Structure 1
Amino acid sequence: MIILTQKIHLESNHQPNLTIFLTAEERTKIRQTIEIKEQNSDNITLLKLNLSRGEFLNTEDILSNDEGSFFVKIKAKLEPVITVKSDSKLNLLKAAYHLGNRHVSLEIGEHYLRFSPDHVLESMLMKLGLNIYEESAPFFPEFGAYKH
């Protein structure tokens, strides 16, 4: 088991030992164990994340063990999402209001909103006249006002 305890800046002449793909929810967990199955093999590597309280993971972050001898790059995993679009920014604002009122994890882009699939929310947004698209994409919900 490899225990990853810190986020670091990796010098450009070094390559990470491993790149892992995590969903938005997995990127919020600073303490978890991840099983990595090697391709064309039955070998499994266990990674234990044990980061400091208050940390969070972003895509492109590099994690390291205490010795600085093993490096893991974090990438956003493709996951099922609903993307909401409209020609009207006001309608997108209204949609963001209604989704926020339901405490939905929400990615906010300049021309779209994105959230995890939920048929009730999709129906509500279609009734408001918004365009709904089922996609598989990296998901980057807002962390909230108190996390930077």
Structure 2
Amino acid sequence: MFGNTVRATHLTHSHDTPADTLTLPYDDRFRRRVAMSSDNGLSFLLDLPEAAELRHGDSLVLEDGRLIRIVAADEPIMEATPADPADLARVAWHVGNRHLTCRIGADRLILRADRVIAEMLEKLGCTVTFRDGPFQPEGGAYGQGRTHDHAH
């Protein structure tokens, strides 16, 4: 224990029933050590050995064995669907060239809502639809998680 506060010391992917959930937007789902409070008010200290991506569906394991399930919060996103599915790779290249995080679907890209990028995507022949939903972009090319330490 850390003082009177229980710690979450590692992540797991479990189908066991969690004690609670922790709903976070994308920007708050890459952490190492921070005081947190679950959706129902359970206070704990996130105390991981290194910064990790808290992915939707994963669980934090508390010292006492309880699980706190990570839930990706709804946030403003947009879906870009090319008129011709064969153009998806070309559109994805333009998004990647701008170092934008996205989720690649079978026929669309899902990105954070951004009117300037939406205009670019429309000029590339996409239909862009804005909505609220969970944002879980692709992981890094050199392993799971985000790519903050890469060189150009």
| TM-score between the two structures when normalised by the length of structure 1 | 0.81
CA contact 1:8–1:63 (8 Å) conserved in 2:
yes
Partner of residue 2, structure 1 = 6
Q: Determine which structure has the larger strand proportion and give its number.
A: 2
Partner of residue 147, structure 1 = 143
Q: Distance in 2 between matches of 1:116 and 1:16?
A: 29
User: Deviations for 1:90-141, whole angstroms, at most 9, x for unmatched residues?
Assistant: 3222221111111111111111101111111111111112100001111111
Within the candidate set 90, 96, 99, 2:86 is matched to 90
Letter in 1 for 2:55: N
Q: Please report how far the alpha carbon of residue 145 of structure 1 lies from its aligned counterpart in structure 2 after TM superposition.
A: 0.9
Q: Please report how far the alpha carbon of residue 60 of structure 1 lies from its aligned counterpart in structure 2 after TM superposition.
A: 1.7
Within the candidate set 46, 63, 66, 1:66 is matched to 63
Partner of residue 24, structure 1 = 26
Within the candidate set 28, 37, 43, 1:46 is matched to 43
For the residue of structure 2 that corresponds to 1:67, the secondary structure is coil
Partner of residue 41, structure 1 = none
Matches within 5 A, 1:51-130: 51-53=48-50, 55-68=52-65, 70-130=66-126
CA contact 1:91–1:130 (8 Å) conserved in 2:
no
Identical positions, percent:
29
In the superposition, relative to structure 1, how do residues 127 and 8 fare at CA in structure 2: closer, same or farther (>3 Å)? closer
Q: Distance in 2 between matches of 1:135 and 1:9?
A: 28
Runs of 4+ deviating beyond 6 Å = none
Q: Distance in 2 between matches of 1:29 and 1:93?
A: 31
| TM-score between the two structures when normalised by the length of structure 2 | 0.79
Q: Pick which of 58-67 and 121-130 moved more.
A: 58-67
Letter in 2 for 1:116: R
In the superposition, relative to structure 1, how do residues 128 and 9 fare at CA in structure 2: closer, same or farther (>3 Å)? closer
The number of aligned residues is 140
Q: Which runs of 5+ in 2 are unaligned?
A: 145-152
